[in-house]
Structure 1
Amino acid sequence: MRVSHNETLIIRKKIWPRSLSDFGSMTFILVIVPLIYWFELWIVLPDLYEFGTLTYFIHFFMGNYMMLNIVGNFTFTVLCDTSTRRKIVPVNAATARDGWRLCSSCEALSPPRSWHCPTCDTCILKRDHHCIFTGCCVGHYNHRYFLMFIFYLFAATAYAFIFNNFFIWSKIQFEFPLSIIKVVFPLAIFVFGFDGSIEQFYLLLYIVSVVGMLFTGVLCVYHFHLIFQGLVCNEKNKKDYSYNLGFKQNILEVFGHKWYFALFNPYVESILPHDGIIWDTASSWKQNSEKTR
């Protein structure tokens, strides 16, 4: 059964982090992302390219475009309510048999692919995982935004990595072995001090961006691999491939019918083929496909 839903964004009532780890991780993102943005476009870029040149404006545009996507996708991931509380869940004798469970915490029936999050204290529609960097769960309605958030973080840090190498190696005066320690162990900068030089602070930002590039790269590989298989994290652990509808349809399930726009612009509305409650399975999808031939 295919159900299309043109629903506007429903904002979560409680958007502040509910645990200390969420608060710390989210604060780190809110501080380090603008800081690295400033470093790349106002320190590194003018040092490598002369202001007013075509090359300068191309890289300046790309930096702002990536930042726009990072901020937009992060914001929608945090604000979007993807819990079962956002709507009245229809339950009848026909649907309650397959995949529905009674959540003792919510004291309500939870539809298929939904699980309770103890941190958010609610059941999440098609719950993938709880993200400490956004302070909320990733589920049916904000899955697209989370994936694009980590993708553009990776793209931005990888893009900056190329230019940062030219900038850092030309600015930093290395002293063996102290400088090597500072590069390999970023926190050693706080132990040994900045030596009264702003270059040491630049080195710290460089190292943070490299670590961020590696971390978000691994996340992208892991989560996009799940998407291509039609899975969320919990289903992968249980090896449940019931909702694998094929490569193309699996992408539509997350990014919606305008997926080609959703990949490049977080502000584009892309209607999802399901409501987060009633799902097609691999068997039912195959039967419907054969009937339409």
Structure 2
Amino acid sequence: MCYVNDFCSYFAKRSPTKFVQIVHPLSTIFVLAGIVYFFSVQMFFIAPKVYKGMGYMLYWILAIFITHNILGNWLACYRTSSSVESLPKEAQVPVPEEEHLWRFCDTCKKLMPPRSWHCGLCKCCILRRDHHCIFTSTCIGHNNQRYFLWFLFHLSFALVVSLVTFCIYLNRTHCNTLLYPEMYSHFLLYFICDAQPDKSKESLFETVAYLLIFLAGLMPGFMLAYQIQILCLNATYNQIYELVYDLGFLRNCKVIMGQRGLWTFISPLLKSPLPHDGTKWEMKKESN
């Protein structure tokens, strides 16, 4: 994931406007196409052959719940601004006794709250800026980190459920050879040498589906691991080992996810007010 981040950062710095105009729409199409593909394959091809009756109905309920949270958190993340400019005018100026804690932004030409940093793509400073995400087309910060974390969680959960269901399907249809390396040599020969694999075209489709599910789970899985660490430490992506704001797991959850904490996994529609506006940050030494 670091290589992807460095690659995007290189081109984003060279031409921020073109990067936003090209990469953001492509990333949005990629996410939507991936969701439609996996939902269609799972619900209309794989699941009916694995689950029957009540089991299939419960699987539909689970799929709707996960899809609602993926799309809902994804949209909420995009629509929720974490920019300093989203604050009321009076909150954008420090009170005299806290002015020394604020830092001057050379681009915005004014003082900014602690933990806020400028984003060249959003063209503004972001409260508790974590990083700029191309898949949500916005910066992840104080106000929308909750949605981003749950977007990754439900996306990763969906891919795990899909993979487990697909493995059950392969076992029941006696296609479990796809779980072994030998099958992929046949798969490569089919494309490189135009050789017919031992399995039928249906097995070829199953091989492609299996590979896509496995590979698609890598990126959100890695990103989720980072976000869980950030949650546990109340840190940010670029300062992930910074411990000065770590108030303990439960308090960190409320700082990032609001008053309802981990219960916000139920739905992005669940109201969970944050404890502050992102301009004042309690430090670890102050909590003891």
**Same fold, TM-score > 0.5, yes or no:** yes
Which string of whole-angstrom CA distances, capped at 9 and with x for unpartnered residues, describes residues 203-258 of structure 1? 3333222112233222222211121111111222xx43221111211111111111
Q: What's the CA shift for 1:173? A: 10
Aligned residue number for residue 159 of structure 2: 157
> Percent identity of the aligned residues?
26
Q: Secondary structure at the match of 1:137?
A: strand
Give the TM-score of the pair, scaled to structure 2: 0.81
Distance 1:182 1:18 in 2: 40
1:212 maps to 2:212: no
C-alpha contact 1:171 1:199 (8 A) present in aligned 2: no
State the AA in 2 paired with 1:66: I
Q: What's the CA shift for 1:189? A: 8.1
C-alpha contact 2:93 2:111 (8 A) present in aligned 1: no
Among 72, 96, 99, the alignment partner of 1:96 is 99
Which string of whole-angstrom CA distances, capped at 9 and with x for unpartnered residues, describes residues 118-158 of structure 1? 11111111111111211211101110000000000111110
Among 121, 124, 130, the alignment partner of 2:123 is 121
Tell me: CA distance 1:233–1:39, structure 2 relative to 1, closer, same or farther (3 Å).
Answer: same
Tell me: CA distance 1:171–1:116, structure 2 relative to 1, closer, same or farther (3 Å).
Answer: farther
State the AA in 2 paired with 1:231: A
Q: What's the CA shift for 1:64? A: 1.2
Give the TM-score of the pair, scaled to structure 1: 0.80
C-alpha contact 1:84 1:123 (8 A) present in aligned 2: yes
State the AA in 2 paired with 1:27: I
Aligned residue number for residue 148 of structure 1: 150
Q: Secondary structure at the match of 2:93?
A: coil
* Number of residues of Structure 1 aligned to a counterpart in Structure 2: 263
Tell me: CA distance 1:276–1:173, structure 2 relative to 1, closer, same or farther (3 Å).
Answer: closer
Which protein has greater RCO, CA pairs closer than 8 Å, 6+ apart?
1
C-alpha contact 1:161 1:209 (8 A) present in aligned 2: yes
State the AA in 1 paired with 2:134: I
Supply the RMSD in Å over aligned alpha carbons.
2.9
Tell me: CA distance 1:135–1:189, structure 2 relative to 1, closer, same or farther (3 Å).
Answer: farther
Distance 1:178 1:240 in 2: 46
Gaps of 5+ in 1: 1-16, 287-293
Gaps of 5+ in 2: 1-18
1:55 maps to 2:55: yes
Distance 2:193 2:156 in 1: 30
State the AA in 1 paired with 2:209: L
Q: What's the CA shift for 1:262? A: 0.6
C-alpha contact 1:235 1:241 (8 A) present in aligned 2: no
Aligned residue number for residue 44 of structure 1: 46
Bigger drift between 55-64 and 139-148 goes to 55-64
C-alpha contact 2:112 2:125 (8 A) present in aligned 1: yes
C-alpha contact 1:182 1:189 (8 A) present in aligned 2: yes
Q: Secondary structure at the match of 2:132?
A: strand
C-alpha contact 1:148 1:263 (8 A) present in aligned 2: yes
C-alpha contact 1:115 1:125 (8 A) present in aligned 2: yes
C-alpha contact 2:170 2:176 (8 A) present in aligned 1: no
